[in-house]
C-alpha cells in the first residue's frame, strides 16, 4: 500500500493558481469543451492518475458525455464510429504528446492533427495536454486517492482561488 502524502492545493493557492493558469490558454478557445474533457481523461488513463480519471469522467458525464464514449475511450481506435475525425485526431495527438515515445511525435500523428486543427487550435490543444500531464504528476506524486471527487467541484475550487 502506498504511503499517505497529504496535499491540498487550496493550502497553496499560488501553486493552484499557477497550474490553473494553464487552462486559460485553452478553455475559451475554439476547441470544443467535450473534446478537451476527452483529452484530459485519455491522458489521465495513460498516466495512471486515478484521481484525474475519476474527476474528468464525472465532469464529462455531468456535462452530457455518454457512458458508451467514456467506457470506450481507452480503446478509441477500436471504436471508429464512436468518435468523430476531430476527436480521433485529438486523441492520437494526446497519446503521442503524453508518451513522447523516442522523444518524438510521429509525422503521421501531426498530419492527422493538422488536418483537423488550425495552427492556433493545435497549439492550444497541446497546452491542454501539457496541463493535464502536469496535474497528473502532482496527483500521482502525492498519492491523491480516487473516488471522492464530486462532479463540478473543480469549477468551485477555481472560483474560490481567484
Is it the case that residue 19 has pLDDT exceeding 90? Answer: no
Average pLDDT over residues 99-123: 96
The count of other CB atoms within 10 Å of the CB of residue 50 is 18
Q: Which of 30, 23, 20 lies closest to 90 in space, CA to CA? A: 30
Region of residue 90 (phi > 0: left; psi between -120 and 50: alpha; otherwise: beta):
alpha
3-state secondary structure of 8: coil
Q: What is the pLDDT, as a whole number, of residue 99?
A: 97
Distance, CA of 32 to CA of 35 (rounded, Å)? 5
Three cell numbers at 159? Answer: 472560483
Residue 61 has pLDDT above 60, yes or no: yes
* Residue-by-residue DSSP string for 64-132: T--HHHHHHGGGGGG-TTTS-HHHHHHHHHHHHHHH-GGG---HHHHHHHHHHS-HHHHHHHHHHHHHH
Helix (H) or strand (E) holding 135: helix 119-141
Question: Residue 86: which of 51, 121, 47 has the closest Cα?
Answer: 121
- Across the range 106-113, mean pLDDT stands at 98
- What does the pLDDT average to over 35-61? 96
Average pLDDT estimate for 100-117: 96
Q: What is the pLDDT of residue 96?
A: 98
Is residue 161 over pLDDT 70?
Answer: no
Of the given ranges (29-38, 53-62, 78-87, 126-135), which has the lowest mean pLDDT?
29-38
Amino acid at each position: 500500500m502506498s504511503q499517505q502524502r497529504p496535499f491540498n492545493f487550496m493550502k497553496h493557492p499560488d501553486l493552484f493558481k499557477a497550474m490553473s493558469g494553464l487552462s486559460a490558454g485553452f478553455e475559451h478557445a475554439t476547441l470544443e469543451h467535450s473534446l478537451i474533457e476527452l483529452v484530459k481523461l485519455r491522458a489521465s488513463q495513460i498516466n495512471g492518475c486515478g484521481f484525474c480519471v475519476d474527476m474528468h469522467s464525472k465532469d464529462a458525464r455531468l456535462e452530457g458525455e455518454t457512458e458508451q464514449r467514456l467506457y470506450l475511450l481507452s480503446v478509441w481506435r477500436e471504436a471508429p464510429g464512436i468518435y468523430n475525425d476531430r476527436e480521433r485526431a485529438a486523441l492520437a495527438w494526446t497519446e503521442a504528446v503524453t508518451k513522447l515515445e523516442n522523444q518524438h511525435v510521429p509525422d503521421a500523428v501531426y498530419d492527422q492533427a493538422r488536418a483537423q486543427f488550425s495552427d492556433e487550435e493545435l497549439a492550444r490543444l497541446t497546452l491542454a495536454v501539457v496541463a493535464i500531464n502536469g496535474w497528473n504528476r502532482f496527483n500521482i506524486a502525492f498519492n491523491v486517492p480516487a473516488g471522492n471527487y464530486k462532479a463540478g467541484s473543480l469549477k468551485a475550487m477555481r472560483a474560490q482561488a481567484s
